[in-house]
Structure 1
């Protein structure tokens, strides 16, 4: 048993926070690189947006194998190795002479690395908490918001001073540092240390919540699994479009790339606040309805974006869209734990996120190619909003986790 005044679960939260801050600061710094890559390689917007979209596709698609591996060997080696892959990819991208080499370095490196670090880190937090799961998850995934907050402006400032290639090398060094810190803090579930979630002492003969629940095979045969999967898939078509296209959108309407990078920063501010704000409402609404609220909120904000041509409107959009995105990310893993327990939670969360992968892959490039063809983002943005509204309807119709589990337990 670990003898310490501080419950070790909070150290796991800190490790997950550092992991997500590191990985997503790199991922969402792409907005600052969009213009330099477009100019360096003479690429169209659809081609340039694929750099990010391939990465996002991979890091959500690989959540399933990462969850399986993390469930088997523990989160520490998977998280550390994943972030080191990110660093390697950045080094390769820094030496690219063609756009396809940026795909090879940034897209594959960030995609593989974040894919193998995110799900095991967020799953580790779920194992260490039950009563305080919402708070712990909100703190951990706030790393994504902080990463979004600092990644793009840091990269933009560095690019202005040392160029985009050396900026990738600086980010690679910072990623190695993040891998070391996260690896020191992340650890396996509390039952490995004679503890129970939330710091309770283990009771003899009592099954740990971390070892009870559904297997992946059992989870995928249920309606709630496919409700959450489909809702996340539909939302993801519009979810990542601002992170890729907001800077060129702002440049097109004459507000300048610098203001676009500021909006990416405000997405991070909103995301960080949203993870805590919306996690706090789950005790009243429940996680299912809170999750549904994130879906419709994001859809409404996409409609606002499609109509926005002023700096004030775009600031409003960035803050609120970021907040709903942050709430979505904070609530989703805990909702999965509510439905399916901790037995194979990493694999279940990874499988659910695989749906997000396809929206991430297709949504941003579709918006880019739509702009290349029509000269406007409006249609693509509104299509993303419509899909968010459909996702909201699906989750409103889904069963409440506690009632659903009770009915299953009573069924013969």
Structure 2
């Protein structure tokens, strides 16, 4: 018997089902949606008792669902890929003094603001994706990103790129991310971990390809035109992929419109933030863990390119290291999604939480060549990938079914402060440890490395209690 921390209160005969197997779960990082309410209707509960979730008509487990997966893969390739290759621009802006007087601290706010959209707008964007449907949400996200990139190409001050390439581009990605989770979750239940893992690996592959390609384009036509070319790619490929989204259940807007026409009562409004979730100790610990680990998560992505050039690696090879890190992340997103289906999503998440900081602390301080730095990057990318791809599945395992979406939306807010402050703190440490020897700039990266790895490790430790509690004191059970 699996402990009730990870179980729902429904039974099929004598067999208790894990909440991740209940068709009522509509997995999206936003408040409980009209879609999830529809799937959780009493009729579905009755039907599910007669058939397993894998064969439930609510989840075809394939068909047009694979089109959603492929569309999501390429959508994330061109929209999230640039986000994971920002280290190339950070190195270029600092090394080439693109914005005179800008320090590591100032420029490091670009990735911070780019990722700020998730904790700041995640719950609201989740509600928007549920209400308007995945296609409309994704198209709006693509449009916001295109505008951000075009405006960034005309920047003359560092704060211009902070607001455009950073904040505006990242805000568009929030809508896109939540739209893809919404779309795929309507087609898959038993294979959801694999489907989401395959789709989200597109962001890692995008980072793998775009990191070195961005450097090549910058060298060929300059950084301004590199941003404009990227905007064209996002508009063309991203727009096409978003148009392929086809919702299987009515969006909140459609339900409200239909109910208004038929004179039915409007669906009840849902809370965006429900603080009652913090009454569960496991959720509070998961939230605090996210608040701590976020300080170190983006350090390798932000500074590995600059570090590589500081030890004598060429800028093109340094960008390739970032690409390899993202490529390993793409493999990790697929691997951890599939592994979670087999060994348990909480178990997979725990392995990722400890593997990532150990890669930083045990390998990065001793990386003095292209090979060793690339190994560190790939190890970190592989384990860090699970932070993103497995978290929604962890929540479906531990949370009561009706609160999954709301808890995911609230969980995103845990990274509000660390996303904004994490990379800049690392940049401030670099500024404080920069010196000039015979007119040559020398930067000591060790304090920044230890800062990132240590906070990741500290944030992972409390999760041991969550795993122990969820497993009922049995460490080898599938949770």
TM-score w.r.t. length of structure 2: 0.74
1:91 Cα offset (Å): 0.5
Q: CA RMSD in A?
A: 2.7
The C-alpha deviation readout for 1:17-51, integer Å capped at 9, x for no partner, is 23322221221232222233232112211111111
Residues 383 and 262 of structure 1, relative CA distance in 2, 3 Å threshold: same
Cα deviation digits, residues 253-301 of structure 1 (max 9, x gap): 1122222101111111111111222223224431112101101100101
- Between stretches 314-323 and 230-239, larger displacement belongs to 230-239
Q: If each structure's helix is expressed as a fraction of its own residues, which one has the higher value?
A: 1
> How far, CA to CA, are the matches of 1:400 and 1:80 in structure 2?
42
The residue that corresponds to 2:330 in the other structure is: 272
What is the rounded CA distance, in whole Å, between the counterparts of 1:341 and 1:142 in structure 2? Answer: 28
Q: Is the 8 A contact 1:68 1:346 kept in 2?
A: no
User: 1:282-297, aligned counterparts within 5 Å?
Assistant: 282-297=340-355
For residues 127 and 216 of structure 1, the distance between their equivalents in structure 2, rounded to whole angstroms, comes to 24
Partner residue, 2:200: 141
Deviation at 1:123, TM superposition (A): 3.6
Q: Match of 1:226?
A: 284
Contact 2:291–2:417 (8 Å) recurs in 1: yes
**Which of 444, 463, 470 does residue 395 from structure 1 map onto?**
463
1:208-247 equivalences in 2 (<5 Å): 217=274, 219-247=277-305
2:184 and 2:195 in contact (8 A); partners too? yes
Match of 1:261 among 319, 336, 339: 319
In the other structure, the counterpart of 2:307 is 249
Alignment of 1:15 with 2:83, yes or no, is no
The Cα shift of 1:192 comes to 4.3
- The structural deviation recorded for 1:380 is 2.6
| Aligned residues of 2:294 and 2:418 also touching (Cα < 8 A) | yes
1:359 lines up with 2:409 in the alignment: no
Distance between the aligned counterparts of 1:122 and 1:56, measured in 2?
Answer: 18
For 1:68, the equivalent position in structure 2 comes to 127
How far 1:158 moved relative to its partner? 0.8
Mapped pair 1:111 → 2:182: no
Say which of 423, 428, 445 aligns to 1:377: 445
Question: What residue ranges of structure 1 are gaps of 5+ in the alignment?
Answer: 194-213, 405-412
Distance 2:204 2:125 in 1: 22
Alignment partners' CA distance in 2, 1:355 and 1:187 = 31
Write out per-residue CA displacement over residues 51-97 of structure 1, whole angstroms, 9 at most, x where no aligned residue. Answer: 12111122343211111211222222111101110110010010111
Residue 185 of structure 1, aligned match among 244, 250, 259: 244
Largest Rg, 1 or 2: 2
Does the Cα contact within 8 Å between 2:123 and 2:272 map onto a contact in 1? no
Say whether the 8 Å CA contact 2:292–2:459 is kept in structure 1. yes
Q: Secondary structure at the match of 2:313?
A: coil
Taking the aligned partners of 2:354 and 2:118, their CA distance within structure 1 comes to: 24
Q: After alignment, is 332-341 or 253-262 more displaced?
A: 332-341
1:334 Cα shift? 1.4
Q: Unaligned regions of 5+ residues in structure 2, if any?
A: 1-56, 252-270, 435-443, 473-479
Deviation at 1:396, TM superposition (A): 1.8
* Deviates further, 13-22 or 299-308: 13-22
What is the CA–CA distance in structure 2 between the aligned matches of 1:337 and 1:21, rounded to whole Å?
Answer: 26
Q: CA deviation at 1:215?
A: 8.6
Taking the aligned partners of 1:163 and 1:338, their CA distance within structure 2 comes to 48
2:218 aligns to what?
159
Question: Does the 8 A contact of 2:337 with 2:390 survive in 1?
Answer: yes
Maintained 8 Å contact 2:119/2:412: yes
Match of 2:111 among 33, 47, 52: 52
Checking the alignment, whether the CA contact within 8 Å between 1:58 and 1:115 is kept in structure 2 is yes
- Matched positions, count: 384
Aligned to 2:454: 386
Distance 2:367 2:322 in 1: 16
Paired residues of 2:337 and 2:389 also in contact (CA < 8 A): yes
Q: Secondary structure of 2:98's match?
A: helix
Q: Residues 67 and 119 of structure 1 are in contact (CA less than 8 Å); yes or no, is this contact kept in structure 2?
A: yes
